[in-house]
């Protein structure tokens, strides 16, 4: 090895040693920030939480109104508190399926208007967020709401309605006398009518008139001073100090019999609940489409048409949640920035949503008459979604035609 090579090697080793002995900066792994993802999560969290709170508030209001319908069952003693609450809670799924899209519309309008009033939207746009980035959290929430509405309308609400109807039928059949009103003739079945003069606090009934028409015997009328309901082993009414009257079919004479105690069988009411026809609201989505196995529906074209209309109304209902979301997002994000508020946009979006909802209800009723209205149900839900996507795609610079005055192109100068 030459002297120059040795010198070079020696100098290289010295440099290496000097580098080894020098303090080295700590190795730091720098994470790349994801502000857009953070902002999307922030928007989605506000939208989702507000939607849940508004839905809960509206559902509670509906719950109070629904409870009034069944309050008589609890007051008269036909149901306990637990059964009463069960009935009222089971009525909520149908209401929530209607409330969710409306709550989504109101929340999207409120949140994006709040962002505009606090100048957050203009900051986000200046940071590089596009219309699609700002609309994505609302779109994701709209899809979640649409799936929830579909599940509620397809399975949860029909099963809940069926359970409520079964409970009410069981209550009315097993405790028909408890549901009797004072001072009126109460028809418990086609062959049993009861009049109650007065009800005591202990449940005793005074001044009774009972008209009974058994299928295998003559019609009988009972005039009793008092009576009480018993349910062992089947529903009966024990009456006291009674007079029974019936008409002889051969002679036409009125036969009268007086007795101190008698048991009137009111089990006739249960005949109505042995095979009850389930309405459209009690059938799941698959059961509505599978009407060929139901003899009553197969033999009645009107009922079949009604069931198919109900099925398509439920199947199209999730798309209306997307339509409401599209209407709100397009109204709040399209057009120029206006710090003074978006009142005209909010009113315009609300009117459009109201028109879409009215159109959906009208087409749903029309579909029961003609199947030609069924495609219009889906078209009515699809048009707002397509229009909203077009408005977001064009952005602030696009021409909006007759709707230009609702979305001014010039930026308003803050006062």
For 350, the token pair is: 């609300």
Dihedrals phi, psi of 190, to nearest 5 degrees: -70, -20
Q: Is the dihedral of CA 12, 14, 19, 20 positive or negative?
A: positive
Residue 391 CA: distances (Å) to CA of 267, 334, 352, 388 = 65, 6, 15, 5
3-state secondary structure 335-349: CCCCCCCCHHHHHHH
Q: What is the distance between the alpha carbons of residues 405 and 39, in angstroms, rounded to a whole number?
A: 30
- Residue 28 is predicted with a pLDDT of 43
C-alpha–C-alpha distance, residues 299 and 286, integer Å? 19
**Distance (Å, whole) CA 206 – CA 211:** 16
What is the model's pLDDT at position 335?
A: 66
DSSP assignment of 28-80, as one string?
--PPPP-HHHHHHHHHHHHHHHHHHHHHHHHHHHHHHHHHHHTHHHHHTTSS-
Q: Which residues pair with 210 in a beta bridge?
A: 194, 222
Distance CA 62, CA 120 (A): 35
β-pairing verdict for 220-231 and 205-212: antiparallel
All residues at 6 or more sequence positions from 268 whose CB lies less than 8 Å from its CB, including other chains: 188, 189, 191, 192, 212, 214
Vertex 114: Cα angle to 110 and 119 (nearest 5): 155
Residue 182: what pLDDT? 75
Cβ 326 vs Cβ 388: under 8 Å:
yes
Half-sphere exposure of 358 (CA within 13 A, CB side): 6
Local mean pLDDT, 10-residue blocks, the chain (415 residues): 45 45 48 63 94 94 82 60 82 93 96 87 81 89 97 94 84 58 76 83 83 78 86 75 84 84 67 63 88 61 85 94 94 72 86 95 91 92 89 61 49 44
- pLDDT, position 178: 52
Task: Name the residue ranges covered by the structural domains of the chain.
Answer: 36-176, 181-273, 280-406
Task: Tell me how far apart the alpha carbons of residues 191 and 172 are, in angstroms, rounded to a whole number.
Answer: 15
Exposure string over 193-229, b if 16+ CB within 10 A, otherwise e: bbbbeebeeeeebeebebbbeeeeeeebbbbbebbeb
Please name which of 315, 312, 314, 333 lies closest in space to residue 139, comparing C-alpha atoms: 333
Q: How far is CA 222 from the centre of its chain?
A: 47
First to last CA, the chain: 84
**Could you give the count of Cα atoms lying within 13 Å of 222 in the half-sphere of its Cβ?**
29
């Amino acid at each position: 090895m030459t002297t120059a090579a040795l010198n070079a090697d020696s100098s290289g080793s010295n440099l290496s040693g000097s580098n080894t002995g020098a303090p080295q900066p700590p190795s730091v792994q720098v994470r790349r920030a994801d502000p857009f993802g953070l902002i999307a999560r922030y928007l989605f969290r506000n939208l989702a939480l507000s939607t849940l709170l508004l839905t809960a508030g509206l559902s509670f209001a509906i719950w109070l109104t629904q409870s009034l319908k069944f309050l008589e069952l609890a007051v008269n003693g036909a149901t306990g508190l637990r059964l009463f609450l069960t009935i009222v809670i089971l009525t909520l799924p149908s209401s929530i399926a209607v409330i969710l899209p409306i709550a989504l519309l109101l929340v999207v309008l409120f949140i994006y208007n709040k962002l505009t009033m606090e100048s957050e939207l203009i900051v986000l746009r200046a940071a590089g967020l596009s219309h699609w980035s700002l609309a994505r959290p609302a779109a994701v929430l709209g899809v979640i709401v649409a799936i929830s509405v579909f599940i509620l309308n397809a399975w949860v609400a029909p099963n809940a309605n069926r359970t409520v109807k079964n409970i009410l039928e069981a209550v009315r059949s097993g405790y028909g006398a408890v549901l009797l009103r004072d001072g009126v003739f109460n028809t418990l079945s086609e062959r049993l009518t009861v009049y109650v003069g007065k009800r005591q606090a202990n449940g005793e009934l005074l001044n009774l008139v009972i008209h009974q028409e058994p299928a295998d015997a003559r019609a009988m009328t009972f005039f009793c001073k008092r009576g009480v309901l018993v349910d062992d082993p089947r529903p009966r009414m024990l009456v006291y100090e009674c007079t029974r009257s019936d008409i002889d079919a051969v002679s036409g004479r009125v036969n009268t019999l007086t007795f101190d105690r008698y048991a009137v069988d009111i089990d006739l009411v249960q005949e109505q609940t042995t095979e009850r026809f389930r309405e459209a609201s009690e059938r799941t989505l698959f059961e509505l489409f599978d009407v060929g196995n139901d003899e009553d529906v197969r033999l009645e074209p009107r009922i079949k048409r009604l069931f198919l209309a109900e099925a398509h109304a439920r199947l199209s209902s999730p798309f209306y949640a997307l339509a409401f979301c599209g209407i709100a997002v397009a109204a709040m994000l399209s057009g120029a920035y206006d710090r003074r508020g978006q009142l005209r946009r909010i009113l315009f979006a609300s009117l459009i949503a109201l028109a879409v909802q009215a159109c959906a209800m009208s087409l749903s009723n029309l579909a029961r008459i003609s199947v030609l209205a069924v495609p219009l149900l889906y078209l009515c839900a699809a048009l707002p979604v397509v229009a909203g996507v077009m408005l977001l795609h064009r952005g602030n610079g696009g021409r909006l035609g007759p709707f230009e005055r609702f979305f001014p192109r010039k930026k308003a100068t803050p006062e």
